[in-house]
Amino acid sequence: MEKVIIIGSGCAGLTAAIYTARANLEPVVLTGALPGGLLTTTSIVENYPGFANGIDGTALMMEMQQQAERFGAKIRFGSTVESIDFAGQPLKLTVDGGEMETQTVIIASGAGHRHLGLESEAKLEKKGVTYCATCDGALPMFRNQPLVVVGGGDSACEEATYLTRFASKVYLVHRRDELRASKIMAERTLANDKIEPVWHSEVTEVLDVAQDKVTGVKVRDNPSGEESTLDCAGLFIAIGHVPNTQLFRGVIDMNDAGYILPKRGQETNVAGVFVAGDCSDHVYRQAVTAAGQGCAAAIDAERFLAALEQ
Ligand code: NAP
């Protein structure tokens, strides 16, 4: 039986792994399908303390992973949890078809990209529709072509700015006329000559004109209701995230949007189960706050285990 199983390998999960490993609890980290989490899909991280010149997202996560491994964390790459039985001690999880038992679980399953919910969006995913500029922006199909980014937050601004390296032009389609992004990011984006904001507008359809790849998008101007077409080779959707918590629905307390609600500190409503990072935090959602919560969850788990032994 394990002492600690950590579900997820983003900033929250790997920080929890560093702390529980240093407490000699030999944590097992189930990385899920995206080892390192969403930060590996970002470019340079400029606001993680300790890196005066910024650090590449993937490099930061690899450092955290190696740091956790150095203290004895066992990383299971690609492992995902299929089902849970948290009815009592030991806690049980079905992982890659086999059963695992553990005294504590730290849920750090993060969040995935929110979709627009259009039929044409699903049909053209990976054929010009994408959720990650850093992953896909450099593909030949997008080079020297007009591209569309949807969203008004830091992610959309970051993606639009990044894409100007490859695109002939980037349209930034936002449903309001004011960006949600931080001031510095918004100013940098709007000052970029290659970015054209398309205010109070929404993408209503992705067009492929029978070519099985994106050739444009239909955009509705919200005040007038009028629709127009923007020719483009790619649609980059950056409209926020949805917590990866489906598995825990009905067992772990969460709000209507699926964000896990901790009870006290990082404890959930189930004894021995703790939570950290984007799967429970819809307010701060920063790498450094996720890491902080991962640390707190690890300390909570350590104290729980110490109390079990008494
Ligand atoms: P976000 O801040 O939640 O912004 C989502 C954006 O998408 C908003 O502008 C929202 O419009 C728009 N949106 C949501 N649903 C939509 C829909 N169905 N159709 C059209 N537009 C829609 O998400 P984010 O940009 O991913 O950022 C998440 C967090 O990560 C934030 O805390 C951010 O600061 C942080 N982050 C930081 C950095 C950095 O510092 N380097 C980089 C990326 C992200 P409204 O504005 O109208 O609501």
| 115-237 and 2-112+241-309 share a CATH fold | yes
The percentage of residues in the chain with a pLDDT greater than 70, rounded to a whole number, is: 100
- Report pLDDT for 135: 79
Ligand 1 center–CA 246 separation, angstroms: 22
Q: Is 222 exposed, middle or buried (0-12, 13-18, 19+ CB in 10 A)?
A: middle
54-70 residue pLDDT tens:
999 999 999 999 999 99
Pocket test for ligand 1, best of 43, 51, 175, 176 (most atoms within 8 A of CB): 175
- Report pLDDT for 142: 96
Say yes or no: domain 115-237 is CATH 3.50.50.60: yes
114-141 residue pLDDT tens:
999 999 999 999 899 999 898 789 999 9
Question: Domain segments of the chain: what residues?
Answer: 2-112+241-309, 115-237
Ligand 1 center–CA 81 separation, angstroms: 28
Amino acid at 192: N
| Catalytic option among 56, 85, 96, 136 | 136
Ligand 1 center–CA 176 separation, angstroms: 12
Residue 25's φ and ψ, nearest 5 degrees, are: -95, 0
Pocket test for ligand 1, best of 42, 132, 155 (most atoms within 8 A of CB): 155
Spell 145-184 as b/e; 16+ CB within 10 A means b. Answer: bbbbbbbbbbbbbbbbbbbbebbebbbbbbeeeebbbeee
- Report pLDDT for 154: 93
| 132 included as an active-site residue | yes
* CATH classification number, 2-112+241-309, choose in 3.60.70.12, 3.40.1160.10, 1.10.10.60, 3.50.50.60: 3.50.50.60
Mean pLDDT, range 8-31, rounded to an integer: 98
| 135 included as an active-site residue | yes
Q: Is 92 in the pocket of ligand 1 (CB under 6 A)?
A: no
